Amino acid sequence: MSTDLPTIELSTGALIPQLGLGVWQADEADTEHAVRYAIGTAGYRHIDTAAAYGNEAAVGRGVAASGVARSDVFVTTKLWNADHGHARALGAVDASLERLGLDHVDLYLIHWPLQNTERLVETWQALIEIQQAGKATSIGVSNFQPHHLTTIIEATGQAPAVNQVELHPRLAQHELRTFCADAGIAVEAWSPLGGSGAGWGADSKPNTLLTDPAITRVAQRHGRSPAQVIIRWHLQNGIIVIPKSVHDERIAQNIDVLDFDLDADDLAAIDALDTGERVGAHPDDLNLAAPD
Ligand code: A2P
């Protein structure tokens, strides 16, 4: 990696830049521009997409147009729910790679665990084969609770390198983070700024974190934006963070966080916001698009 971004060593030995760009709910045109700008101008080296976002092709074009070598950019995509099961998973990664225009991704995640445990193990077994075939350097999961992680680890003997979950100051996920740390699983935060406000799932709600008075107070003290303070909180907690934006000035602002530190009082004030409130669905409740 060719920037000063902090990295985290995954269990595979691969280095993941701790800060990346998320592109959920970004259309093709916005995604292509955002990815190109983020890598080519703002200094990002990590893009997080998913088959379900419908913008993998745009991510691929943005990476290609960025002027930065593919080997210097960490690309994550995810297997959608309809592709659970061994055969479907093997087909899904090929389709994602085709859309991305890449011969491998750096990280391939199961997007949701769903509620069929036997099939979940089959899907994880397929991801292990995908990694062995060199189509994904590292493999992991998203939205897994400890019981899902235990199931796939006990069945296959292989732990995911990453678990990407909803995580922000209102949902600090301490128990899950401890479980993952003990199992050598890096934790990645989705909706790290509190989400888009467009929402989805039973618990979706507008973003009120970016205007939270406690965050605003810390931001004012440092002469920084609320988003920058929240991103620092993630970085200083050892979490991989992928804030989403399609606006150049916000994309640039969100990576301009490497020259200040939150002190213990700042961190404690933000830690106090942990009410366990979600902006998205609870992993155990969701079975959306599951195959028959
Ligand atoms: P936009 O893409 O219009 O900039 P998440 O928590 O899922 O990363 O969501 C971040 C949300 O906050 C997105 O809707 C994004 O919208 C917005 N956003 C991203 N960066 C900033 C920022 N620096 N200041 C204010 N809003 C931001």
What is the rounded distance in angstroms from the CA atom of residue 196 to the CA atom of residue 155?
36
What is the band of 205 on the pLDDT scale with cuts at 50, 70, 90?
confident
Residue nearest to atom 12 of ligand 1 (CA): 196
**pLDDT per position as a tens digit, 229-249:** 999 999 999 999 999 999 999
**pLDDT per position as a tens digit, 240-281:** 999 999 999 999 999 999 999 999 999 999 999 999 999 988
As a residue count, the chain comes to 292
Residue nearest to atom 8 of ligand 1 (CA): 243
The reply to whether ligand 1 has any atom less than 6 angstroms from the CB of 49 is no
Tokens 């971004």 sit on residue: 5
The reply to whether ligand 1 has any atom less than 6 angstroms from the CB of 226 is no
CA dihedral 88, 92, 98, 103 (to 10 degrees): -100
The domains located in the chain, with CATH, are 7-195+240-245 (3.20.20.100)
Atom of ligand 1 nearest to the CA of 197: 14
Tell whether the model's pLDDT for residue 202 goes beyond 80.
no
Atom of ligand 1 nearest to the CA of 192: 6
Q: Among all residues, which ones are annotated catalytic?
A: 53
What is the rounded distance in angstroms from the CA atom of residue 226 to the CA atom of residue 232?
10
